[in-house]
Structure formats: structure tokens, C-alpha cells
Chains A and B, each alone.
Chain A
Amino acid sequence: MNLSSTNIEGLGVRPAARRPAARSNAAVVRTRRLAPFAFISPTVALITVLTVVPIVMVVGYSFMDSAIVAPNPVFVGFANYLKVLSDPTFLLALGNTFVFISLSTILHLVIGLAFAMLLNTSLLSDVTKAIFRVVYILPWLFTIAVIAVVWRLIMDPYGVANYILTSVGILNQGVNWLATPGSAMGALTFINIWSGYPFFMISLLAALQGVPTVLHEAARVDGAGWWQRFRYVTLPHIRPVIISMAVLDLIWTSQQFALIWLTTGGGPLGATEMLSTYTYKQAFSSFEFATASASAVIVLLLTMILAFFYVRQQTVRD
């Protein structure tokens, strides 16, 4: 496993080789050694106090019997983990989360890339593109609570979506998008895609702008068509961005809670129950902080696998 270099490291810079020999006295060496720690200390302090400490507390709860609710919780080893892993609802939530984050990420990517390429085309004027650019980032501007409520309104059985679909004749009668077990996950994913693609689009747009024109021209001279140019010139160039965005998106989407809670609450019939809603219900309505913590730690471990791939991908990129 090559972890010798991550994205945050220098571009193959080896400080020792560059240090001017004349300044190599003891004091300078000590400063040199301490300087990077001074630079990163605010970050390390903040992250230690505000995330490492609470995470350690959560891990602690996960090994206790009735953590928080009882005055003297007892150490129970992995009992809570066994309980969570044998809970069918948890396994359902795990499966749903997998479907939700995969679909969301793939479609974020496809739509984000499609929009980015439209906005990057040389066929249209800069003003036209600037206007559409603003329209396209609109979904990014709203807080998730409002996105949930607006889409509930639109997807209501008598809402505007069903009205349009029935007037045009696509549907015979309105569908309860969010209340029918068969369509709830699709509807929820649709909303999540809407709210999340702009970030992809913007990042990919920037990446596309970095594709050297020379390469395209060369390919064109060689007789390559649109698809071949996309496949062999554009795609390889933006691949690093795509991969890192995809991994980040998988992590971010797996943490989506407010949107699910405010639209379906995990229902109907558990069709949209996710790890985030499962954990929330355990803690805030069943008062099972111990099992909630165990579930949280499992989620954390799963997402850390993703984080690990992210770091490794960044390594490969450098």
C-alpha cells in the first residue's frame, strides 16, 4: 500500500535537499523542525477537540449498556454491535443507503458533467453561458429544510408535478411520489440529485476549462469524432477530479439526514430508511444511545473505507 504521499504533500519537493547549507546551525534546524507544527497546530487543535473527542465519546457509549440514560452504565463489550447488526431494520437501512448514495453519486456526476459540457461549449456566446450558469447553480443556494418542503409541495398528490404530468397525458392520475413504497426512493433520490449536482457541475466545469485546446485540435486533425475526442482527450484529463468528487459525494450523501427526515421520515414501510435516519430514531426517539452509538461507529467505519480510497486515489494522482 503506497501511502507515502497524499494529495496534501508537496509536488515531489524534498526540503532537505533544498535547504541552503549555510544556515544549517542547530537553532535553524530546530526552527525548521518546529515550523510545520506551528503552521498546522490550529487545525490539529480544532480537529482534536471538536471531532476526535466526541468521536471517542461515541465509541465509548457504544460499548456501554444504556449509555447516558442510566447513571451508571456497564461495559458490555460488543453486545450493542451484535444487536445492531442483527436488527433487520439496520440491514434494510444499510441496503437503502447503498442504493441511495450510488444512484445519487452516479447521477450527480452524469448531470453535472452534461451541464458542465453544455456550459463549456464554444458554440454559444459568453453572455448566454453566464446567464445559464447562474440558473444552474440555483439549487445550491437553498437550505435543505426548504428544499425538502418545496419538493413535498411539488410532489403532493395534487401538486404541480402531478398536475403537469396528468395534463400532458403522461399519467392517468396523480401518483403519491413520496408515499408509495415503490416510488419513494426514486423520488427522494431525484430531489437529492437536484440539490447536489451544482457542486459537481462547477468543479467539472473548471476541470473542463483546464483541458488544453491543443490536444482537441490534434485529435480533430487525426479525424477523431466528438465521442472519440470526449473519450480519449477530455475524460482522461478530468478523471482525477471525477474520482475525488465521486468519493467526496459518496461520503456527503451517506450523511444526508435532514432531506430524508423532512420528506419521508424513512417511510413508507421503511422504503427510504437510511443509516442516518435509523441512528437518529435510535437516539432521539427510542433513547437507545448505546445502540445509536454502535450504529454510528459502524457508519463511521464504513465511511472511513471510502475516506481511505479517497486518500489513496489522491496519492495515485500525485
Chain B
Amino acid sequence: MSDVTVRHGRPNHWLKAAAFTGLVIGALYAGLPVLWMLATSFKGNGEVFAVPPKLITPGFSLDAYTAILTDPARLRFFMNSYIVAIAVTLLTLLTAMLSAYGFSRYEFPGKKLINIAIVSVQAVPPITLVIPYFGLMVALGLYNTYPGLILTHMVFTLPYAIIMMTAYFNTLPRELDEAVKVDGGNAWTALWRVLVPISVPGIVAVGVYTFMISWNEYLFALTLTRTDAMRTVPIGIQLLMGQHSYEWNQMMAMSILGSIPVLLLFLLFQRRFIGGLTSGAVKD
């Protein structure tokens, strides 16, 4: 929307104030729990339950962060998360772009059935798959490996990625492909030389979404790994919830640290991200 709404001077001030108040109230709702998380990460473990609750306690320290950043096992969790999330993002984008091109540009037998299957895959409750999945991963030799985790996360990220990428390709006129072919190219070059470069915002949007899903996935990352060498950040955080007590400050510090890459990713791409997420879906 442009600034055309600014017509009368006075009511606009009131509206502005109202909008700003609304934003602040929303920000309190969104941000206070995160602020509490941050505050807890600086507390001593005994101060977490102090009554009355305090934001900043006498035991304020960065020990929790030091403990995590100097522990090779924890750093390994971060590395594992990066490896898995980046690989999942790249492979999901590659696979989704290929499929999206197929769905967007061709008619073929079984297309509807496959479409429905791809959409339905999202409806499978992951918790129910844990047991057979475990056996399958062991049988394929993928238990406790990066590829096992990467392929598993792709199962969850692919459907959404395909749906969005197809919608996005659908908004691009077919004449583009035809032009490439007239110039001596083929479907393959049309996809990579023309469609993909134009679709960068959509790709970024799907990529960020995919990265977030993979970075935060918990159930399968827990079930399909068994050594610290393979575990990811969410599991590392869970390891701090012992049988008998929580390492509150470290748990919070680790999740704050874990959120930073995702936050940076969002900041880096937010313009394109917001432009891309539904530019495929809303194509009037």
C-alpha cells in the first residue's frame, strides 16, 4: 500500500499511535518469553526459581555460554546441525525445482495421483513412523549417519517446497521456455538458465523455510542418531535435561546460540523471503 492513506493530518496521528501501540503489545507477546529465555541463560542454576522472579540476578554471568563454546562435543552438535541443515536445504531445493518443473510444464499419466500422494505425505503423523523407520534406516545402513538424517528431513521439507516452487513456476509464462528452445536450448537449459534465475525470491523463501525445519527437527534427529558425533543442536539441548535436573542456564544459552544462524538467515533474506513466500500462491 502506498502513502495515499495519509489524507487528513489529525486522525492520522491517532491512527499512527494506535498502530504503534498495537505493534508494541504484539511485540511484548512475541518477545517477552524470549527475553526470559535470554535472562535465564545468564542466571546461576539455583537462581532460576528465585522468588520473586528477577530478570537480572546477582549471579549474572556468561558461564553458560563459555561452557558451551569451549566444549568440543557441543560445538560438534552445531557443526552437525549446519551440515545437515545446509545439505537438506540444497538437496530439497534441487529436487523440488526438478519436480516443480515436471509438474508445471508437462502433462503425464499418473500426475494427479502423484500430486495427491505428495500432498498427503504431510499428513502422515511422524510419531507413528518412528518404529518402522528405525528398522528401515538400519536396513539401508543409514542409521546414525548424516545421509540418513538428511534424507529423513527431506521427506518433511520436500512437499511444501514442491508445492511452492510449482506455484512459482506456474506464474512464469511458458513463452520463456519456448524462447530458449527456439534459441537451440532444451527443457534442461530452460529450467536452469531462465526459470531458476527469475525465481530466486521464491527459492530463497523455500530455502529459508527448509533450513528452519531441518535445524529445529527433534523427533527423528533423536531416534536416528546414537553418538555425539551425529547429534544435532535440538538433541544437544535435550541432553541438558538430565534424568534428575535441568542445566537451565546452559539449555537456554544453547538455544539462544542455536537461534542465531536462523535469525541471521532471516535478516539476510527477509526482503526476498517475504516477497517470495506467497508470490507463487498469490498470482492474480
- Residues of chain A having any CB pair with chain B under 8 Å: 3-4, 6-11, 13-16, 18, 33, 35-40, 42-44, 46-47, 49-55, 57-58, 61, 68, 114-115, 118-124, 128, 130, 132-146, 149-151, 153-154, 156, 158-160, 163, 194, 198, 202-203, 205-207, 209-211, 213, 216-217, 220, 237-238, 240-241, 244, 248, 251-252, 254-255, 257-258, 275-276, 279-280, 283, 289, 292-293, 295-297, 299-300, 303-304, 306-308, 310-311, 314
Contact = CB atoms under 8 A, between A and B. Distances in A.
- B-side interface size class: 35 or more
Given A4-B112, A138-B30, A141-B263, A146 B154 contact: no
Contacts of B124: 51, 55, 300, 303
Interface in B115-134: 115-133
Interface string B138-173: 000000000000011011001010110011001100
Contacts of B248: 153
Contacts of A307: 116, 119-120, 122-123
A206 B259 contact: no
A158 B52 CA distance: 8
Given A143-B258, A213-B4, A240-B281, A10 B104 contact: yes
A47 B155 contact: yes
Given A123-B12, A138-B30, A240 B282 contact: yes
A275 to B, nearest CB: 8
Contact of A310 (B119, B162, B277): B119
B238 interface: yes
A142 B259 contact: yes
Contact of B132 (A58, A118, A295): A58
A124 B114 contact: no
Given A43-B158, A207-B282, A213-B4, A311 B12 contact: no
B34 A138 contact: yes
Contact of A50 (B19, B48, B96, B151): B151
Given A124-B23, A251-B123, A296-B128, A257 B219 contact: yes
Nearest to B267: A134
Contact of A158 (B3, B51, B129): B51
A210 B282 contact: yes
A18 B178 contact: yes
Contacts of A4: 112
25 contacts: A8-B166, A10-B105, A13-B174, A39-B98, A47-B117, A47-B158, A51-B124, A51-B155, A121-B19, A122-B1, A122-B3, A123-B5, A123-B15, A128-B23, A134-B270, A135-B27, A138-B259, A143-B255, A144-B216, A206-B277, A206-B279, A213-B1, A220-B4, A299-B128, A311-B119
Contacts of A122: 1-6
Contacts of A143: 215-216, 218, 233-234, 237, 255, 258
A240 B167 CA distance: 13
Contact of A47 (B52, B118, B135): B118
Contacts of A68: 131
Contacts of A297: 128
Contact of B282 (A15, A40, A238): A238
Interface of B: 1-6, 12, 15-16, 19-20, 22-23, 26-27, 29-31, 33-34, 36-37, 40, 48-49, 51-53, 95-96, 98-108, 111-112, 114-133, 135-136, 151-152, 154-155, 158, 160, 162-163, 166-167, 170-171, 174, 178, 187, 212, 215-216, 218-219, 233-234, 237-238, 241, 246, 248, 251-252, 255, 258-259, 262-263, 266-267, 270, 273-279, 281-282, 284
B131 A8 contact: no
Contact of A160 (B31, B53, B131): B53
Given A51-B129, A51-B155, A123-B19, A15 B107 contact: yes
Nearest to B20: A124
B84 to A, nearest CB: 13
B251 A149 contact: yes
A39 B162 CA distance: 12
A124 B16 contact: yes
B155 A146 contact: no
Contacts of A51: 121, 124, 129, 155
A275 B7 CA distance: 53
Most buried by A among B34, B126, B160: B34
A119 B27 CA distance: 11
Contacts of B167: 7-8
